Structure 1
C-alpha cells in the first residue's frame, strides 16, 4: 500500500511532465528477480535489441556483459529511503517510450506506472493485489500469466503477442565472456564432465546428500567427473556431501573459484548439468548443455529449461512452489521431494549414455 501513496504523491508531477514528454524510442525492461529469471528475459532483450533495465544487483556481473543492455539501474540502490525511491521515479518518468514490466510486485509496478511512456506492457499474475489496480490503469496492455503458462513465453508476448518460446534463444552473457583465469581442470576431454549445484538460493530446494550418493553410485561405471559449482558460502554443503559420499577423486571442487560473469563459459564446457531448480540450470540451458533437472516441489509448466532436458520430479506430489509464489518450507521432506528411485536413476544413466556413447563400457565377451 505504501507504493500506492507514493504514486499518488507523484501523480501531479507525472501529469504535468507528460505534457512535455519527448518521443524517445527507448525501452525499459523491469525484472528485479535473480539469476534464473534474468536468463529467461534474455530472449525479450534480444528481440528489443537495445534496452535499459531495472534489475537486481545479484545479476550485475551478467547484465553488464550483455550488449543488448545500455543503462542499468539496480533496485537495491534506490530502496534506502523514500527520497531515493522518488528520485528514481522522477528520473525514469519521461525517459522511455516503451516500458515492459516482467516482475509485477508493488515496487516495480510503482516505477512502471510513474513512467509517461506511450506503450506500457505489464505482466499480471496470480498474486495480484486489489490495491495494485491503480498501477494497472496506467498500462497500455496486459499479459495475463498463470501457473500453467510459461514465464519466458509471456515475457516475450509483452513485446509482441505472436512471439513464442521458440522465437529467440536464451543467453547469459552476450557475447560470451571467456575469463583468462578459467580453472584448467574444466578443459579435460577424456571424461564425461557433469556440472552440479549441491544447493540452491532457496535452501528448501537443496538436494540432500543421500540423493547425490545414489546418483554417483548409479553412474560409477562411467568415467564421470563431477564439478561442484557454487559461491564461497556453500562450502558447508560440500562438507556435508563429503560426509555421505566420502572423498572422491572424481568430485572437483569449484566452489568460489569461478566468477559469476565467467560462470556461463565454465558451464558451457560441461557435457551435462544436474541440479534442482536454480539459476545454474538456466545458465546451462542457455549454453545448450543438456540438463538433468531434479525439480522437487517446483512447477515445471511455469518455468523450466527449454533445450535438451530430462525432467525428474516427485511421484504423486503436486507442485507447491511457483515463480511468483516461492515457498521456503514444504509439507514433504526433501528426501521425498527429490527422491531418485531405480527407474529414475536408470533414466538418467540412459540420458547420459545416449549422448555420450563413446564412453559406454564395453560388455565382457563370454567364452
Structure 2
C-alpha cells in the first residue's frame, strides 16, 4: 500500500502527527508513507522511521494557488497512491490528493470538503479531546472508532531518533563539550510573551542550576535571541559563561540533536516542547493561558506545571512586558522542585 499524508504546518502539530504514521505502519507493515509538508519539516520527518519520504510543499501557509496545487497533484499521479490522509482542516489542503486521483481520501470535514474527501469524518470534539487522538482516529475505519475510548491503547506516541555519533559531532561543533552536564531552556513561544515564562524566572532558575554544576543552553529561533540575552544578562556575571544562547544559531536539525544531548529541558508551550517529548527527555512544560488539555507533551517523562484551568486568550499578556499573570505566578523554586526528581531519575 502506498499512502500520501498532507502534513500539518506547525512544529508541534507535525510532531503529534507521527502518532498517525506509527499507527498506520503498525496496521499496514508493508505500507510506504510519504508526507507532503513545508521544507522546514524535513529534519523532523527524516527522523521518523515510519516515513518513506518527505515531499516538499512549496506553497506557503495560507496560499490557495489552485493552479500550482493542480500541478503538484498531477505530478503525484505517477506514484499511484492508494490512500491519502489530509491532516489540516482547510479546503486548500485537500486539493492535492484530489488532483492526484488518490482513490481514497480521508480527513475531518473541516472547511466543507465534500467531494475533495470521499472518506469524510465529522468531528465530535468532546469525543476526541486531544489532537493526537484526532490524528490517530483517521487510521481506522470510521465505523470502528466513535470516540477516544475506542482507540487501541496505549497510543503510539511520537519518537524521534538521534544517534550518539550525531550528538558527539554537534556538541563539539557548538563547543558544548564542557564537563558540566547540560540543561536546555526553550524560552520562546510562537504567540509571543503571553505564552512565555518570564525571562527573570528563567534567569533565577538558571542561576540555581549553574550553582549546582550544570550548564544552560538556550534554544529557539532568531526571534527568540533577544529573550535569551535577557536571561543571560540577568545572571550573575560569573555565571554567564555557563549559559550559551543558541537561539537563531542552529538549524532545526541541529537543535533536535542538541536537545537530545541535554539532561533535561524546561520549556514554554512550544514546538520545541513537543520535540523534547518525542526525544523522551525529562521535561518541565510551563503552561499559562494555553491549555495542555488539547496538545499536552506526549511523554511519561514530562511534568506539566499550570496554575489556572480552562481556555484563555494567548495573544496578549496582562502584565509588564506582555507576560501573562498565570505564568508570572509560577515561581522558579516550584520548577526546580519538579525538575530535581526528573534529573535524579535520568542519572540512575
Q: TM-score, normalising length from structure 2?
A: 0.78
Distance 2:11 2:178 in 1: 27
Distance 1:250 1:121 in 2: 50
Aligned residues: 321
Give 1:88's aligned residue.
72
Distance 1:231 1:29 in 2: 27
Other structure's SS at 2:88 match: coil
Give 1:121's aligned residue.
106
Asked if 2 retains the 8 angstrom alpha-carbon contact of 1:200 and 1:276, the reply is yes
Picking from 50, 57, 60, the partner of 2:39 is 57
Q: What does 1:1-367 correspond to in 2, within 5 Å?
A: 25-49=1-25, 50-67=32-49, 68-70=51-53, 72-76=55-59, 79=63, 81-92=65-76, 95-114=80-99, 116-124=101-109, 128-129=110-111, 132-135=112-115, 138-142=117-121, 144=123, 146=125, 149-160=129-140, 161=145, 163-164=151-152, 166-172=154-160, 178=166, 181-184=169-172, 185-188=175-178, 190-191=180-181, 193-204=182-193, 205-216=195-206, 219=209, 222-247=212-237, 248-307=240-299, 308-313=301-306, 315-316=307-308, 318-320=310-312, 328-329=315-316, 333-342=322-331, 345-346=333-334, 348-353=336-341, 355-356=343-344
Distance 1:216 1:224 in 2: 9
Distance 2:203 2:55 in 1: 42
Asked if 2 retains the 8 angstrom alpha-carbon contact of 1:187 and 1:269, the reply is no
Other structure's SS at 1:29 match: strand
The verdict on how the C-alpha distance between 1:152 and 1:174 changes in structure 2, with shifts beyond 3 A counting, is farther
The verdict on how the C-alpha distance between 1:199 and 1:51 changes in structure 2, with shifts beyond 3 A counting, is same
Asked if 2 retains the 8 angstrom alpha-carbon contact of 1:226 and 1:251, the reply is yes
Other structure's SS at 1:262 match: helix
Q: Which runs of 5+ in 2 are unaligned?
A: 26-31
Distance 2:170 2:186 in 1: 18
Deviations 1:19-44 (A, max 9, x none): xxxxxx31011123122211111122
Alpha-carbon shift at residue 255 of structure 1 (Å): 3.1
Alignment RMSD, CA only? 3.3
Give 1:10's aligned residue.
none
Alpha-carbon shift at residue 200 of structure 1 (Å): 2.1
Alpha-carbon shift at residue 53 of structure 1 (Å): 1.6
Other structure's SS at 2:241 match: coil
Asked if 2 retains the 8 angstrom alpha-carbon contact of 1:52 and 1:71, the reply is yes
Deviations 1:130-180 (A, max 9, x none): xx25357x3324162627711112211111245457332412357798266
Alpha-carbon shift at residue 330 of structure 1 (Å): 5.0
Distance 1:71 1:233 in 2: 27
Distance 2:70 2:290 in 1: 36
Other structure's SS at 1:261 match: helix
Q: Find runs of 4+ consecutive structure 1 residues off by over 6 angstroms.
A: 174-177
Asked if 1 retains the 8 angstrom alpha-carbon contact of 2:225 and 2:246, the reply is no
Q: Which runs of 5+ in 1 are unaligned?
A: 1-24, 322-326, 360-367
Give 1:14's aligned residue.
none
Deviations 1:318-348 (A, max 9, x none): 3236xxxxx5335675141312445x73353
Alpha-carbon shift at residue 297 of structure 1 (Å): 1.6
Deviations 1:1-21 (A, max 9, x none): xxxxxxxxxxxxxxxxxxxxx
Alpha-carbon shift at residue 182 of structure 1 (Å): 0.7
Alpha-carbon shift at residue 226 of structure 1 (Å): 1.4
